[in-house]
Each structure stands twice: as structure tokens, then as C-alpha cells.
Amino acid sequence: MHSTNYFNTLIEVAEDCPAISGEQPPVKGDKLSVANRQFDMLKNAPYKYDSDEVLFTVWAERKDIPKADYEKERAIYFSKGQPCFRASPLTKRYGWGVHANSEGKIAIYGRETQAYEDLCKNSELKKTKAMRSKRK
């Protein structure tokens, strides 16, 4: 089974992210986007979920998968590699860094915050940049 989880790692905001601070993704129409759903799960529940839980739950909700089928569908979903939070619109477009603690649980921090700056300076954390939206 593949996993998207990181441990003791900060996924830094993408170099070409246009947001100067962490922005709540706008709701367009009556359907929530991937960014909206990820933001809603993480903003008020820091370090409650790991990356796999967030990415699978968002995917399952968008596909209208019944909760009773989650266990079976999760095994199928992670039977092949999935994009991690380095490819998330939160890190690429909306100015959020993602910190994974020693248990793999994640929280988001706006790039303008002191907490994000402190995480960037923490030499005990592994750091990786979110994926760029455009090629150099």
C-alpha cells in the first residue's frame, strides 16, 4: 500500500505561489473544490488527521462513496501512488505550508505567520517545497 504521509516535515509554500498570506479558498458555485474540502478539514483540526486521511476523505466525498465502503475503497485508492500535499492547491496557490509532526499528523500554517517562519527555521525538520504551478 502506498502512502502520502510525511513525518517531522514541513511542506513549504511553492516558489511561484501568488498568495502573500494563507488564503481561504473561495467557494465557486455550489460545489466545494478539493482546496475547499482540504482547508475545511485542516483549518480547525490541527494535527487530527494524517495526509492519507485528508486526501482519501476528500476524494471519497467528491465521488459520493458511502462511508460503509471507505475501508474497501481506501485499499483500492492507495493500491497505487497518489499525489501528496506537495501538489495540493493549498500549498501551490493559497499560501499554506503543511507541517507533519512525528506521528504524521498534519496542520496548515499561513506563510505570513510567525509559526510558519519558525517551522522554516527549525533545523530538526525536513523541508520540501510544494510543486511549482509553472515550469521555470
Q: Give the tens place of pLDDT for each residue, 77-122.
A: 999 989 999 999 999 999 999 999 999 999 999 999 999 999 999 9
Of the candidates 86, 96, 85, 68, the residue with the CA atom closest to the CA atom of residue 129: 86
Say if 3 falls within a structural domain. no
Say if 89 falls within a structural domain. yes
pTM of the model: 0.91
Query: What span, in angstroms and rounded, lies between the C-alpha atoms of 106 and 8?
Result: 10
Q: Which helix (H) or strand (E) holds 76?
A: helix 70-77
Sign for the CA dihedral angle at 54, 57, 21, 115 comes to: negative
Say if 112 falls within a structural domain. yes
Domain limits at 46?
9-129
Based on its alpha-carbon atoms, the radius of gyration of the chain, rounded to whole angstroms, reads 15
Say if 135 falls within a structural domain. no
Of the candidates 23, 2, 3, 41, the residue with the CA atom closest to the CA atom of residue 89: 23
Say if 134 falls within a structural domain. no
Kindly report the number of other CB atoms within 10 A of residue 60's CB atom.
Answer: 17
The pLDDT-based confidence of 31 (bands split at 50, 70, 90) is: confident
Which amino acid is present at 53? E
